[in-house]
Structure 1
Amino acid sequence: MKAICADLAWEQDTLDALVSGLAPDQWQLLAPCGRWTVKDEICHLAYFDHTARLAATDPEAFQRHLIEDLGRIKNMDEATEITLAKGRAMSIGDLLAWWRGERRQLVDALVRLDPKDRLPWYGPPMSARSFASARLMETWAHGQDIYDALAIERPVSPGLRHIAHLGVTTFGWSFANRGMAVPETPVRVELAAPSGEIWTWGDAAASQCISGPVVDFCQVVIQRRHVDDTALVVVGDVARQWMAVAQCFAGPPTLGPAPGTRVIQKHHT
C-alpha cells in the first residue's frame, strides 16, 4: 500500500502544483469534451476524494451519504450537478484547501490498510489496493482533461503501471457493463514503460495482442483518446472490439471520443 499511495499522492500533488499557478481565466477553460471547466475537474476530484475518505475512515458515514446525497438522484445529469455543486460555490482558494484536506486524509487512511481490506463504494466493495488504484486512475484521468484544456505536456506519472493494470483487469467489465457477452478469446497486452521496460499481461501465446506505449493504452481505457489516435498496435477482432468499449471506471457505460476529436496540439511549459 505504501508504494501505490505514494504514487497517488504524487499524482495529486503534481496536479495541484499545476492548477495552483493558473490565472483566474484559465480556471474557466473548457476541457476538450466541452462540458466541464478546469475548475469543474477539481470540484469532481475534491468531492470524490471526500467520499473516498469517508469510505476509508467511516463506512457508516459513507452509507449515509449514499442515502442522503445520492438517493435522490434520478439521472446522470442530476448526479453531475450534485457532485460539482459544493466546489462550484467555493472560491478557488477554498476549493484547493478542501481538496488538499480530503485527499491527504484519504492517503493517510489508505496507507494504514491491508491491501486486501474491503471498502464500500458505489458498486461492489473493493479491496484497499484496488480502491487506491481507482483513485489514482481518476486523478490521472481528470488531470488529462486539464492538461488537454491547457494544451501542455504532462509529466510522466510513476503510477502508470497501476492504471494500465486496472485497464487490463476491467476487460470483462467493459463488455458486461454494456450487456455484451464477455469474449473468451485471450488478448495479450504488451506495453512500453517510460523507462523502456516492457510490461506484459496475458498469455504470450495468444494470437490477439495490443502493444505500444503505456500512456496511450491508459488514455484509451480512461476514454480520453480514441485508439486510432494513438500509437497502439491492435491485432485481432476481439482486441479491436475491446479498445472500442474499454472503460476502466465504474458507472454506466459511456463512449470515448470519436477518432480525431481529442488530438491535442501541445506546447511545452
Structure 2
Amino acid sequence: MQLSPHYDFPIIVSIDGSPSDQCVPLVRQRRRLEDLLRGLSDEQWNAPSRCGTWTIKDVVVHLAGVNRFWQASAAAGIAGTPTRLLGGFDPAATPSMMVDSLGSITSAAALEMFVSSNDALLATVADLDDTAWTVVAESPMGHVSLRLVMQHALWDSWVHERDIMLPLGLTPAVEADEVRSCLQYAAALGAALSIGLGQPITGWLSVQAANPSVIFAIEVTNLVAISELADGVVSVTASCLQGDAVQLAEALSIRVPLASSAPHEWHALLGRLATAFDTPSEAG
C-alpha cells in the first residue's frame, strides 16, 4: 500500500537519546556488512535471502539504492530544504521494481554500488554537531529529525544484514547500541504507520527486553513518543512486551512470529505494519 507521510508539525515521532547517538552504530554496521560481503563466494551472492524471491545480491542492490535516498534526504535537511519525495511511496512494490530495473549485474558491481553509496551517505553526516543532527529531514514516516532518519537507515540495513547472514548459516554480530536502536525504531515505526493508516493503537505500551537490556515506554496519541526507562521500571498499566531483544526486534520487523502470549496491542500494532508492507504479520 502507499504511504501517507506526516510532513506537518509537530513531528510525528520522538525517541529519547543523544542527538548524535546514531552515528557510531550507523558507520560500524555498514562497514561490517561491507567486510562480510567482500568474503562471499559467487555462489553465496546468488543464494536466497530471507526476503521473498530476492537473492543476497538483490538485497545488496536494494541497500545501495535506498542509501541514495538517505543521502539525499540528509543533505536536503542539513541545507534547510527537507525533501517530500515519499508521498505515495509503496514499501512493498517500489523496492522490488528498483531491484528489477537494474537487471543482471555482477556481484562485484553490486558490492561497488553498496560501498560507494555508503561512502556518500556517511560523508554527508560525518562531523555533524548535535544541532545538525536535530534538523528536519524526510523518512518514510514523514518529516522527522535527521537522527531518526539515520535510525531508520540503521534499522533497515541491520535487518537486511540478518536477511543475508542467517540463510548462509552465519552468525550476525550483536552490538548493544545497534539492537537498542533497531528495537526502538521498529516499535516506533509500527506505531506511526498505525496513525497513518487511520487505525492508531493509542495509549501506553512498553518493552522490557534482555540481551542486551532495552527498556522503554511508548505513548501513542496522534504522535508517537518513546521514553527510555531505568531497569525494572515499567508501568503496570502499559502493555509490556517482554523477551530477548534481538528476537523482539526481528518480530517487530516482521521477520519472525511474535509470541502468541504477547499483549494483544502489540499483535494489533504488528498487523498495521504488515498491512503497510503487504507482508503477513506472522512471517517466519
Q: TM-score surpassing 0.5?
A: yes
- The aligned amino acid for 2:264 is D
* SS of residue matched to 1:3: coil
Q: 1:168 — aligned with what? A: 187
Select which of 238, 246, 265 maps to 1:238: 265
Residues 1:85 and 2:101 aligned together? yes
1:147 offset after TM fit, Å? Answer: 1.5
Find out whether 1:254 has 2:281 as its counterpart.
Answer: no
**TM-score normalised over the length of structure 1:** 0.77
Equivalent residue of 2:254, what SS? coil
Q: Cα deviation per residue 1:129-157 (whole Å; 9 max; x = unaligned)?
A: 10110000010111121112213221113
Q: In 2 relative to 1, CA 171–58 (structure 1 residues): closer, same or farther, beyond 3 Å? A: closer
Query: Are residues 198 and 8 of structure 1, via their aligned partners in 2, closer, same or farther at CA, if it must alter by over 3 Å?
Result: closer
Check if 1:9 corresponds to 2:9: no
Name the SS for the 1:125 alignment partner. strand
Alignment partner of 2:124: what SS? helix
Give 1:52 deviation, angstroms: 1.5
Q: Number of aligned residue pairs: give it.
A: 245
* Structure 2 contact 182–249 (Cα < 8 Å) conserved: yes
For residue 208 of structure 1, what is the aligned residue in structure 2? Answer: 239
Cα separation, 1, equivalents of 2:183 and 2:122: 21
Contact 1:188 1:209 (8 Å CA) reproduced: yes
Higher relative contact order (CA 8 A, sep 6+): 2
Question: What is the deviation of 1:5?
Answer: 1.4
Structure 1 Cα separation of the partners of residues 70 and 189 of structure 2: 20
Q: d(CA) in 1 for partners of 2:197 and 2:43?
A: 39
Structure with the bigger percentage of helix: 1
Gapped regions of structure 2 (runs ≥ 5): 1-18, 219-233
- Alpha carbons 1:49, 1:102 under 8 Å: kept: yes
- Alignment match, 1:41: 59
Identify if the C-alpha distance between structure 1 residues 243 and 77 changes in structure 2 by more than 3 Å, giving closer, same or farther.
closer
Computed over aligned residues only, the root mean square deviation of the Cα atoms, in angstroms, reads 3.3
Q: Unmatched 5+ residue regions in structure 1?
A: 263-269
Query: What secondary structure, in the 3-state scheme, does the structure 1 residue paired with 2:209 have?
Result: strand
Other-structure match for 2:117:
102
Which of 14, 26, 36 is matched with 2:44 structurally? 26
* Letter of the structure 2 residue corresponding to residue 105 of structure 1: A
Give 1:183's match in structure 2, choosing from 198, 201, 224.
201
Q: Secondary structure at the match of 1:167?
A: helix
Match of 2:231 in 1: none
Decide whether aligned partners of structure 1 residues 96 and 119 sit closer, same or farther in structure 2, where only a CA change above 3 A counts.
same
| TM-score (ref. length: structure 2) | 0.73
**Which residue identity lines up with residue 216 of structure 2 in the other structure?**
T
1:139 aligned residue? 157
Could you say what secondary structure the match of 2:134 adopts? coil
Distance 1:74 1:125, change over 3 A: closer
Does structure 2 retain, via aligned residues, the 8 Å contact 1:178–1:253? Answer: no
1:115-126 residue pairs with structure 2 within 5 A?
115-122=133-140, 124-126=142-144
Contact 1:28 1:38 in 2 (8 A): yes
Q: Post-superposition shift, 1:44?
A: 0.4
CA distance in 1, matches of 2:29, 2:150: 12
Q: Which amino acid aligns with 1:108?
A: A
State the secondary structure of the residue aligned to 1:217: helix
Distance 1:237 1:176 in 2: 17
Task: After superposition, give the CA deviation of every residue in 1:150-204 in whole Å (9 maximum; x if it has no partner).
Answer: 1322111341111122123234324234442x2334222111133xx35232552
Contact 1:41 1:146 in 2 (8 A): yes
- Partner residue of 1:154 out of 159, 172, 185: 172
Structure 1 or 2: larger strand share?
A: 2
